[in-house]
Structure 1
Amino acid sequence: MTMKRWSVVVAVAGALAAMSAAQGVMAQEVVHIGYSGPLSGGAAKYGKEVLDGMQMAADELNQAGVDIGGKKVKIQIDALDDKYNPAETAINVKRLIEEDKAAVVLVPHAGGCFAVQTSNEQQNLFLLAYTSVPQIAQRNNKLTVRIPPEFTSYIPAFVKFEMSTYGKKAAIAPTDSDYGKAWTAAFKPAWEAAGGQIVVENPMSYNKSTDFYSGMSRVLAEKPDVILIGGPSEPTGLVAQQARELGFKGGFAVIDQAKLDEVAKVTNGYPPLEGAIGVLPVAADETPGTKAFVARFRKTHDNRDPSSEVSLNYTAVYAAALAMKIAGTSTDGAAIRAAYDKALKQLPHDSNPNNISGLDDHGGLVAATPLVAIVQGGKLKPSEMNALASK
């Protein structure tokens, strides 16, 4: 065979190999899971942590290989910024359905979830709702799953600890979002039923401001023993810090959207949060599966600790892919939702850092004991109130 002919053979073989590889790539369908949440503004860090968890799940699933309906697929997260604005959420979700053919969309704030719930059943869209507001699941929307445990599970522990440690006069000053309003509506009667008094209500715009001095001055004028604060972690840290700078010596009840370890980064440590009670950080959980998850996240994220936004939304997306596999479809939202409880029960141990066991009767994820933590002596530690939080 002449050199010229050999070159032609090699070229033809190379072209055939390239065509074969291209066909293999084309044969791998892309399954789109949508996301609409805050990626700019005061809640951007919160929204990005949700997205980190979703993307981590997609990366691990794709590395392991995903088969749906007999076809190998690639899971792709399509993320759009809604600036924490429900009107923008509705626009984004419509775009995700029309342009990306997404049958599953995750939204990490109550207002946006309520907006999506007005039409998702008609659109056959499965909504993964990352908000602990109970009303999201209680609406009996058949194509919604609420991801975090209901925040009401934390309130008995919050009330008992703060009232017994600091006193009976409480101020309410969380975020003014729908989420913050729901917390207020649940916390106020629980505090009063325990014999406490609400001395002032002054919710603030955590997503639009970094200066909370004037709002906190109005709160402190009523001399509260305890202040209910919280929203995204970064502004929550500013609220706590500015309250201390204005002379507040009492305790903080920190609503579950804010994470104590993230808040402490803003306050330069835990001492300014002395007497606070909130949700136990994921990295402080000694459960074996949780520790393995934390180690994997640190390895791929510059040794950063994952928040519960990361861990819970990782699990939510991982379970969504398993539900697609069980249902044999990535396009039928109702079928995926119907398989979701079964998928949660089949989660690999290391892919279930929050120990989710399934769904409750309203379509909310059921976790093990909702764990809380307190700050005492300038250090974070699990609270003896955890047994109370499980009731």
Structure 2
Amino acid sequence: MKIAKKLGQAVATVTLGMSLSAGAMAGEVNIGFTGPLSGGAALYGENTLSGLRMAVEEINAAGGFDLNGEKTTVNLVSLDDRYSPAQAATNAKRLKQESNVSAIFVPHSGGIFALQDFNEKDDFLLMAYSSVPSITEKGNSLTLRIPPTFDGYVRAFTDYALEHQGKKLGMGGATHEYAKIWGSMVKKEWESKGGEVVSDTPMDYNKSADFFTGVSRIIAEAPDVMFVGGASEPTGLVVQQARQMGFQGGFIVMDQAKIDEVAKVAGGLDMVEGAIGVVPLSVYETDAAKDFIERYKAEYGKMPGSEAAYNYLALHALVEAMDATESTDPKTLRAAVGDALKSMDVSKNPYEVTEVTENGGFVTETTLAVVKDGEIVREEID
């Protein structure tokens, strides 16, 4: 009996040790990330992750935050899902089971929708970096949408293109779920305002580097404007190949791609003349944005994109909420992030977001930029 009792105590000790090693260490909280870190969208995933890493480094360098009277640091646990919703779901299960994360950041709509099937049951906060409107219309009580919804972009971009560039649109967006939703909304908006869609040829931006076949089909229909967009790097290749094949019209660039990043891949701003897209962070004139850009460039040696800035501020707000509530409970944090955005230091908030809607969306203004005479120019939206 004594042997059996000792064996049972030993097993219990080993099990407890495994649990502690799988989860956060004492004085440490785990935050999860699943996103594309390989494949065609790898740069997009890395840009997102860089903003999270920068926030974690700053929080920990400052001594962490208070949790139940104890100074606590943040550990970021990141997994590659190659832009696959199924892999994102698998990663999320692993992050919860092995690392006991209270929140998981996901930068693509397919993965977000997959995680919404079980995040309430599994009790983790879903930090959604995607502008698909339905993400916060599904009634999921543990979802926060970080960027603004793209329906405002769809209206503004199509209005500008129809007024300044022509009536014929060639559709050349990506094939992942987010791009398909964007594309269907653009097509509907374009046709409802009297425009004509002359070609609809979606392409797999995540696997291909040679888009000549798809682009040639679009250009053969002589569009005035091309709708393009996935991650910035493959979008730049699509634009480059369109120009090489003689296309001289404008581009409607889906908000996932950033004009300045697209231009670098395509061969310069002259290659994206007439492109319409979101205002890149590099064009923002606020002190908070300029300060973030300077610190990010010092850390990573390059200009940050919006995915880095938005996820940076979102993680700071999440930890601010943990500090204020002294809790890592997902429901408590979901309710506290709005106040955290208002109270956090503006230097941690490059987009100066101060409000969260009742259904969980960060409130940010819709912006529009266009490339004119080789420069990115911000345009006012009516």
Report which stretch shifted further, 64-73 or 101-110: 64-73
Question: 1:81 corresponds to which residue?
Answer: 80
What is the Cα deviation at residue 69 of structure 1? 2.3
Question: 2:243 corresponds to which residue?
Answer: 244
Instruction: Write the letter of the residue equivalent to 1:300.
Output: E
Correspondent of 1:322 among 320, 323, 344: 320
Correspondent of 1:344 among 330, 341, 357: 341
TM alignment of 1:192-271, pairs within 5 A? 192-271=191-270
What is the Cα deviation at residue 27 of structure 1? 8.7
TM alignment of 1:31-46, pairs within 5 A? 31-46=29-44
TM alignment of 1:20-35, pairs within 5 A? 29-35=27-33
Correspondent of 1:50 among 48, 51, 68: 48
**TM-aligned CA distance change 1:387 to 1:166, over 3 Å:** closer
Give the distance between the partners of 1:53 and 1:27, measured in 2 at CA. 23
What is the Cα deviation at residue 100 of structure 1? 0.6
The DSSP-based 3-state class of the residue aligned with 1:365 is: coil
Question: 2:370 corresponds to which residue?
Answer: 374
Q: Is the 8 A contact 1:28 1:72 kept in 2?
A: no
Question: 2:308 corresponds to which residue?
Answer: 310
The DSSP-based 3-state class of the residue aligned with 1:387 is: coil
What per-residue deviation string (whole Å, max 9, x for no partner) do you get for residues 238-284 of structure 1?
Answer: 00010111111111000000011111111121001010011111121
Q: Is the 8 A contact 2:230 2:257 kept in 1?
A: yes
What is the Cα deviation at residue 156 of structure 1? 2.3
Give the distance between the partners of 2:291 and 2:144, measured in 1 at CA. 26
Question: 1:273 corresponds to which residue?
Answer: 272
The DSSP-based 3-state class of the residue aligned with 1:200 is: strand
Task: Give 5+ residue unaligned stretches, structure 1.
Answer: 1-25
Report which stretch shifted further, 89-98 or 320-329: 320-329
Give the distance between the partners of 1:347 and 1:255, measured in 2 at CA. 31
Question: 1:6 corresponds to which residue?
Answer: none
Q: Is the 8 A contact 1:28 1:74 kept in 2?
A: no
The DSSP-based 3-state class of the residue aligned with 1:173 is: strand
Q: Is the 8 A contact 1:37 1:84 kept in 2?
A: yes
TM alignment of 1:131-150, pairs within 5 A? 131-150=130-149
Instruction: Write the letter of the residue equivalent to 1:348.
Output: D
Task: Give 5+ residue unaligned stretches, structure 2.
Answer: 1-23
Correspondent of 1:62 among 60, 63, 81: 60
Give the distance between the partners of 1:94 and 1:323, measured in 2 at CA. 24
Give the distance between the partners of 1:117 and 1:201, measured in 2 at CA. 30
> Structure 1-normalised TM-score?
0.89
What is the Cα deviation at residue 28 of structure 1? 5.5
> Structure 2-normalised TM-score?
0.91
Give the distance between the partners of 1:126 and 1:105, measured in 2 at CA. 6
Question: 1:11 corresponds to which residue?
Answer: none
Consecutive aligned runs of 4 or more in structure 1 exceeding 2 Å deviation: none
> How many equivalent residue pairs?
358
The DSSP-based 3-state class of the residue aligned with 2:251 is: strand
**TM-aligned CA distance change 1:27 to 1:273, over 3 Å:** closer
Give the distance between the partners of 2:142 and 2:58, measured in 1 at CA. 26
Report which stretch shifted further, 319-328 or 254-263: 319-328
What is the Cα deviation at residue 328 of structure 1? 1.6
What per-residue deviation string (whole Å, max 9, x for no partner) do you get for residues 287-346 of structure 1?
Answer: 1111111111111112x111001100001111111111222212x211111211111221
Give the distance between the partners of 2:197 and 2:321, measured in 1 at CA. 45
What is the Cα deviation at residue 379 of structure 1? 1.6
Report which stretch shifted further, 187-196 or 262-271: 187-196
**TM-aligned CA distance change 1:138 to 1:314, over 3 Å:** same
Give the distance between the partners of 1:284 and 1:27, measured in 2 at CA. 41
What is the Cα deviation at residue 163 of structure 1? 1.2
